[in-house]
Every structure is written in C-alpha cells, then in structure tokens.
Chain A
Amino acid sequence: DTAVSQTPKYLVTQMGNDKSIKCEQNLGHDTMYWYKQDSKKFLKIMFSYNNKELIINETVPNRFSPKSPDKAHLNLHINSLELGDSAVYFCASSYGSTGELFFGEGSRLTVL
C-alpha cells in the first residue's frame, strides 16, 4: 500500500502542450509538496501546500500551478511546456511539527 503515489510515472509530450501530474498520499499528512529534480540530480522545492497556505518558490514560472482537491491530493498542472521543463518531478508529504518528509517515486517528464 503505497504511502505517496504519483501518476503517471513517465510522460513524454511536445513543447507547448499542457500536462498534469497527480499525487495522492494516504498517510494522513497535512502538508504536501512538489519538488523538481534536474539533470544534475539537484532537488529544488517548487511548492508547499496545506489546507491553509500555499507557499510558492519565487523561481517557479507561473506556468506551473498546484491544485489540491482535498488534503490527500496535490496535483501539478503545467501550461505551455518548454524544453527546460524536462525533469523528474517528486511529490512529498509531511505532518505536523516533525516535518519528516515522505516521497513518491517520481514522474519523469520529457518535453520534445
């Protein structure tokens, strides 16, 4: 029973398209995140979100938008995809003051 699950695992698309990646957690956590891992394997936070607050990293283009239908889900929508968006996107979640992060398996996005 996967704790943090993402779909799809692989996504190949053309420049200019719009795509979404879904994330679900069954840990009862109150905060969810999206991270981007670039070709050099560096992980950078994009968003953190709980039911009260969305925190956006200022370097994230506004083509990226998180959408949370409920506490257990945080989807990532990307408009007008660019070549530089190719990366692995990781969803994560945490709870309360310990803030221990749990990650999904990642979604590899390739923009052609």
Chain B
Amino acid sequence: KQEVTQIPAALSVPEGENLVLNCSFTDSAIYNLQWFRQDPGKGLTSLLLIQSSQREQTSGRLNASLDKSSGRSTLYIAASQPGDSATYLCALSWWNTGNQFYFGTGTSLTVIP
C-alpha cells in the first residue's frame, strides 16, 4: 500500500510570510508528483507537476521540490496572500501504479490579513 503523509494538517500564517508545506512518502520509485489546491466546496486546481526525472518546478510564487531519496516533497509559497488560503494536497503515482495517483490528507492553509 502506498502511503502519502502531509504535515501539518493545518497552518495559519500572517500575510506576507514565506511558508513551506510538506509531503512525505515511503516508496521512492515515483512516476509523478503533483500539487493541488482545493477551495471549500470546489474541485482541485493543479498547481505544479514534477516528473520523476525532475527535482523542482516553479510557477509564480510557488516552488515545488522533490527529493526521492529522502521521500519528501515541499511546496514553497513566497509572500503569502489571503487568496492563498485553501487546502493543499500532494498526489503521487508510482511506476507500479501507472497513472493512478494517491493523495495525501492535505494541509489547510489560512493566511491572515
């Protein structure tokens, strides 16, 4: 069974702060890793996709890194804004699971104005 863990479950920060969200996994034979955000009552919005041969991806104020040897990915959010408040989920697929992504439990982020 593939396990994906996200800690902390909830995080509250003041506006403007830089922050890091964590995603841990037990099997390093990753195929892809994807970060999503989910707003309350909404679907999932893809933020960044990291393929197994890559170490990081950047989009605007977001940077995601992947360290397969330590079983960890981080999502770095620079200069946080209230609009960043959402639940952030990481999802991984492994070589033996093909296109099937397995999700972590998510980190609920609140950015306080």
Contacts and interface: CB of A to CB of B under 8 A. Distances in A.
Interface of A: 4, 31, 33, 35, 40-45, 48, 50, 55, 90, 92, 94, 98-106
Minimum-distance CB pairs A-B, first 8: A43-B103, A103-B44, A105-B43, A103-B43, A100-B49, A99-B99, A99-B32, A106-B43
Contacts of A90: 43-44
Interface of B: 31-32, 34, 36, 38, 42-46, 49, 51, 87, 89, 91, 93, 98-103, 105-106
B100 A45 contact: yes
Contacts, number: 60
A91 to B, nearest CB: 9
18 contacts: A41-B87, A42-B103, A42-B105, A43-B44, A43-B103, A48-B98, A55-B98, A55-B100, A94-B99, A99-B32, A99-B99, A99-B101, A100-B32, A100-B34, A101-B34, A101-B91, A101-B101, A104-B43
Contacts of B98: 48, 55
Contacts of B93: 99
A104 B36 CA distance: 13
A22 to B, nearest CB: 15
Given A41-B87, A48-B98, A55-B98, A100 B46 contact: yes
Prevailing SS type, chain A contact patch = strand
